[in-house]
Amino acid sequence: MRAGWRCEASAQDAGQQRRIGVVCAALVFAASLGACSLFGPDRPKPKPLEPITAPITAKQLWNQNIGSVQFPMLIAVNGGVVTVASSDGTVLAVEAESGRTLWRASVGSKLSAGVGSDGRVAAVVTREGELVALEAGQIKWRKALGVRVATAPLVAGQRVFVLGVDRAVQAFDAQDGAKIWQLQRPGDPLTLADSGVIAAFKNTLVAGQGPRMAGIDPISSAVRWEVPIGSPRGANEVERLADLIGPALRTGDLLCARSFQAAVGCVDAERGRIVWTKAVGGKDAINGDSELVFGADASDRLTAWKTANGDVAWTSEALLYRGLGAPAVVGTSVVFGDLDGTLHWLSRTKGQAQLRSTTDGSAVTVPPVVVGGVLVVVTRGGGMFAFRPS
């Protein structure tokens, strides 16, 4: 789980901007104090770990350090290759099975978002708001965006799609960076400056728009459908923050995601309709497969929902207050990384403890990925680890 979160004022009126900015700053400060109490020296004591009741084994295949990751990085997967980045602007492609680095490059500036890749072109965004595309370790082009970005770009269909913190979507030609279109929707007063949802589904671009998931024509930018996952609630703008948190889970025609502190749900992206949604708190992405969707709430209570209808399959309080991030599903396990860099392997069908693996002692804040049965994990300290369950 992230140690804190940020919000972004998106109102157009200058006076309203100032008022919202003050509210945002004050409440983010309060939230940061709460985060410190939850995950700092005075955090609630984590629940003692339960005995391993359904033991498995997993082999660590390799590890390396890519440099500190202090931004909401996503790992891009293409075939057997993962592309990652560090805060200082280093981008590299690595074979998931062997850990061999295929290429490494520097964009020359610190990053705010990345990485997106289609296996040929990789894309990141700098803190200065510059979209940078790379190919085979060489910078291909740069483009000023004019907006802050915290979500990894999506590279698909020979285009690069960028979701800003204001939830505007921009499309660029992947070959030369020419801007093709921009979709600016009516915005909420505040948005979450964290990884949002942007994904490809067949011939539709899917993007998070506050608590809503929208299907967009990638050629014309026309909105094809839009459905809500969460329902904002609360007494002020910050309490009503309910932006979708990425990455989304795709399984068949379903796209599932978390609405920040509000809900978890799945959308039929073929028909553009909600399949199910469940009111539940939480601040990190969910994951799963065709049978189960997994996630942790703000206190690290775990829930497995049936993917088809959202019914609860199991719950667990075994990992309370351990600062869990987004999970990954590998083999018979669902794996959660925690604030101390420990990986907790649980039975995907019952939630029983199977195994615990250590990394470098820093928080697992990057959503893990699975490549050909290999679990790849990146820590905040920049440790990159690969495990294969036996």
Concatenate the DSSP letters of all residues of 202-219 into one string. TTEEEEEETTEEEEE-TT
Let me know whether 38 and 61 are in one domain.
no
Let me know whether 12 and 58 are in one domain.
no
CATH number at residue 346: 2.130.10.10
In a domain, 310, yes or no: yes
Q: How far apart are the first and last CA of the chain?
A: 27
Nearest-CA neighbor of 130 among 115, 117, 116, 141?
A: 141
pLDDT for position 324: 98
**Residue 11, Cβ density class (10 Å: 0-12 exposed, 13-18 middle, ≥19 buried):** middle
Let me know whether 344 and 388 are in one domain.
yes
In a domain, 236, yes or no: no
Let me know whether 298 and 341 are in one domain.
yes
Helix, strand or coil, per DSSP, at residue 34: helix
Let me know whether 321 and 366 are in one domain.
yes
10-residue mean pLDDT profile of the chain (390 residues): values are 50 41 37 42 87 96 97 97 98 98 98 97 98 97 96 97 95 98 78 89 96 96 96 77 94 97 97 97 96 97 98 98 98 97 98 98 97 98 97
Containing structural domain, residue 24: 1-43
Q: How many domains does the chain have?
A: 2
pLDDT for position 189: 59
Task: Supply 124's token pair.
Answer: 């990141």
Let me know whether 7 and 60 are in one domain.
no
> The pTM is what?
0.90
In a domain, 18, yes or no: yes
Let me know whether 376 and 325 are in one domain.
yes
Q: Is the dihedral of CA 185, 190, 193, 197 positive or negative?
A: negative
CA-CA distance, 276 to 7, in Å (whole number)?
27
Task: Supply 383's token pair.
Answer: 């440790």
Number of H helices, E strands in the chain: 1, 34
Let me know whether 1 and 60 are in one domain.
no
Helix, strand or coil, per DSSP, at residue 274: strand
